[in-house]
Amino acid sequence: MSDRYQEIKRTASEAQDGGRYKESALLHEQAYRYAREFQMLKESFDAGVWSAIAWEHHGNSLRALDLLMELLQAIPADVSEYDVYLVRKYCLVIVFKYNPELSKLTEKLNELEAMVRGNSDLPQADVPNLRGELMYQQGRFEEALEQAELAWSKYNERGFLKSDIAEEAIRFNLQLSRVEAAKHWYDLMLVIEQESTNDQRELNQCRILQRIAEASFALWEQRYSDVDSSLRALEQQLEGTQGANWWTRYSELSVRYFLLQQRYGDPLNPKHPALIMLASHSQRDKTVFAVYERFRLFLDYRLAALRFAVGIEPVDDYAYAKKQTISNGTPLLGRLAVQDRILRTRRAGKKALREAQYLDDCFRCEWRRNQIHQRLERLEEIADSIT
């Protein structure tokens, strides 16, 4: 019986290492049910934990949470403290993504910190990693970066992967417009890759996050041929993987890149690659953060379509490193068509602002609303120029 369990568990772990999270989740769940049937309670608990983790990475967090709640109902006496820790950690991670009540998140994070404190066998970097993400969502970007640096210094080869910490630091630095500092963390990712030849899971994730970082840097610096090559490499790297967040980030970067390429013409053309990619963008990541980012991306798409209509050169509304220039072209569409696009962009702005308001209220901040208001100011600047 134990041989059969070990066989299923080994295959499930191989799928996890390769980023095939749905496959891993199903196999781990099979091992979980099998071990429980034969009263192998410790083994059953371990397989259940990793099934939940795989479901969470795949994007099916509700199924993951159901399984975690089931595990908490009956914790075997001989189960490892690490497995219990993982259950409590991923309960927090999922609640963070779907019901981010600040006081509750802070309370649960403090409980996790108390569990880790004084126990060197548990992941020492996880709590500052999660606290940094919490501060980031509150708009406390400098403090978030300090937590990422603390997580890096505390890393003990357990918990979140080391490339997770580097990715977090890259994202926080870009939020602060510190591209060169972000590139320093990218260099550290290259070191992680060199040191992870025997860790397939870390190696695969590190390479994916490198491609995401490369495309982000190139977009920020308007090196569009480099964006194209990085996105092609990222697509190849993602082939066969089942991580919802990775595919969502690939889709958003692709949409932003396509909108900046004038050779594709009108973004509202049904054959425009940005519109095609945008149509598939909503099919993967369903977290509250992904919902907001999707509405923000759609607003940027509408702004791009409006700029095309009035003959304004494309700009990236995310980094906005290059400002829009109002008087640099001739309107390509008639007045009624332009007014229709202005109206639709305003509607997209209202929807994005609603999602920004929800998250800002959750985290008691204003930075997302400011993001949307800045875009709406650009919209009205265009509208004023044609009245």
Q: Which position has the token pair 């939020």?
A: 175
Tokens of 127: 């709590």
SS (H, E, C) the chain: CHHHHHHHHHHHHHHHHCCCHHHHHHHHHHHHHHHHHCCCHHHHHHHHHHHHHHHHHHCCHHHHHHHHHHHHHCCCCCCCHHHHHHHHHHHHHHHHHHCCCHHHHHHHHHHHHHHHCCCCCCCCCHHHHHHHHHHHHCCCHHHHHHHHHHHHHHCCCCCCCHHHHHHHHHHHHHHCCCHHHHHHHHHHHHHHHHHCCCCHHHHHHHHHHHHHHHHHHHHHCCCHHHHHHHHHHHHHHHCCCCCHHHHHHHHHHHHHHHHCCHHHCCCCCCCCHHHHHHHHHCCCCCCHHHHHHHHHHHHHHHHHHHHHHHCCCCCCCCCCCCCCCCCCCCCCCCHHHHHHHHHHHHHHHHHHHHHHHHHHHHHCCCHHHHHHHHHHHHHHHHHHHCC
Tokens of 204: 């695969």
Q: What is the mean pLDDT of the chain?
A: 92
- Amino acid 386 reads I
pTM for the full predicted model:
0.92
The pLDDT value given to residue 312: 92
pLDDT score of 327 more than 80 = no
The pLDDT value given to residue 242: 79
Tokens of 163: 């490339």
- Amino acid 321 reads A
How far apart, in whole angstroms, are the C-alpha atoms of residue 262 and residue 226? 16
How far apart, in whole angstroms, are the C-alpha atoms of residue 281 and residue 241? 16
CA torsion 364-148-208-47 (nearest 10°) is: -90
Q: Which position has the token pair 């072209």?
A: 329
Is residue 280 very low, low, confident or very high in pLDDT (cuts 50, 70, 90)? confident
pLDDT score of 185 more than 70 = yes
Taking only the tens place, the pLDDT of each residue in 51-60 is 999 999 888 8
Q: Which of 171, 173, 139, 134 is nearest to 360 (CA)?
A: 139
Average pLDDT over residues 7-21: 91
Taking only the tens place, the pLDDT of each residue in 93-143 is 999 999 999 999 999 999 999 999 989 999 999 999 999 999 999 999 999
Chain centroid, CA 3 distance in Å: 37
The pLDDT value given to residue 36: 87
Tokens of 164: 């997770």
Q: Under a CB-based contact definition with an 8 Å cutoff, are residues 278 and 255 in contact?
A: yes
How far apart, in whole angstroms, are the C-alpha atoms of residue 94 and residue 60? 10
Q: Which position has the token pair 């999707």?
A: 294
pLDDT score of 192 more than 70 = yes
Average pLDDT over residues 45-52: 93
